[in-house]
Structure 1
Amino acid sequence: MGRMYITLKGLFDDLGVKTVIPPPVSQRTLEIGTRISPETACLPLKINLGNYIESIAQGADTIVLTGTCGPCRFGYYGVMEQEILRDNGYNADVVILESPTRDPKAFFQRIRKISGNQSWPAIGKSFLQAYGILTQVDELLDLSLRKRPREKNSGETDRALTQFEKQVRSCCGSREILGLIHQYQDIFAGIEEKENGDPLKIGLIGEIYTLIEPYV
């Protein structure tokens, strides 16, 4: 979903857990998911399944997702997606993180499982570092939103953002990721703006996933 993979990559890198980042969402992703989804299923479910299958093709054997929470039916799709994958011959281990208020013991057991059985202090430290990545990525994206309509050289912001996303996939751990983010914050800050730029402000409304995911 959007650039959330950057935060999660940093988290699992710090925990010593190998991750597979699927290719950016594309028409192929949607077509893969649509082939095995119920006809009336929503777009996010189809793209999720496409993401999972593309990741499995790259070697992923475990899928982690949240459940029973969120602003839409996404929170209830975990079990359905698990069954659809199994019915179509994909036997990846699906770990669904449900709200800790329902079953605290099961929640923390699953956290321990996906963290490679690291100690709780190590897990806590990694989550704090991941939160730092999350806030810095948000700041970077906010800066890109400010620069894009004001840039003097058309396309400069998008080119920088595309380059950032290519490079971040090669980073290892929160330290490297944060260093790259700070580097690109400086790059974005240095993008020259038009004189007297006063761009039109547009408010976007609608389903949360379609607003967050760039391809959609």
Structure 2
Amino acid sequence: MTEGSAKLTRPDLPLPGRSGSAPGTGNWHRFHYPIGVFAAVYGVTGMVTALISWDDRRTELAGYLGSGAATPALVLVKAVELLLVLLTAAGLVRRRDVWLLPALTGWAAGFALFAVLDVVTGRWGGLLEHVLYLAGFAFLLFLSYALSVRARIGRRGVPAPRSSTGADGGSDGGADAQIRPSGLTRTQEMALEALNRWQQRLERQPPSA
């Protein structure tokens, strides 16, 4: 047996993983497609709705900023939304996960800003709506980031990170916290662990009748 074939059969080498990442596309995962499509459709729908009911949207913004700043603010908001849609579409076409992250961050930041304005102006109904949208896009942002980490592990064939707690339930020592064979940062490991726990919880749920 040659040296090359011996290396292929070594038990300590990781087997090729079946990840959803595509070769040559960075850390793209197949589940990035529904996330990107949802964000793009949401953005296009928002822009079309704004064009149809422009006066209503301008009146709504006037309640936050005053009638004088309502029109420029609405134009600015829709221009930013168009930029986010284009960024999302480019990420889908080029299969670049890093382009989805700023787009999702932009939508989450926008809803966070409107939530702050709701608190300032006392619009509690609008606050509930914007907080729900903020939570939804924050979840999509986290999910996209965690999927990128999983795709990176599958593409590079690195071992999965260990749990942050040992067998006795205590935290690992300082040396283990710094030495990471997976090559991931602590934030990436936490995101991947959270995604794995969420999937395991879904798998343990009994099927609906």
- In terms of fraction of residues, the more helix-rich structure is 2
Structures share a fold, TM > 0.5? no
Q: If each structure's strand is expressed as a fraction of its own residues, which one has the higher value?
A: 1
TM, length-normalised to structure 1? 0.24
TM-score by length of 2: 0.24
Structure having the higher Rg: 2
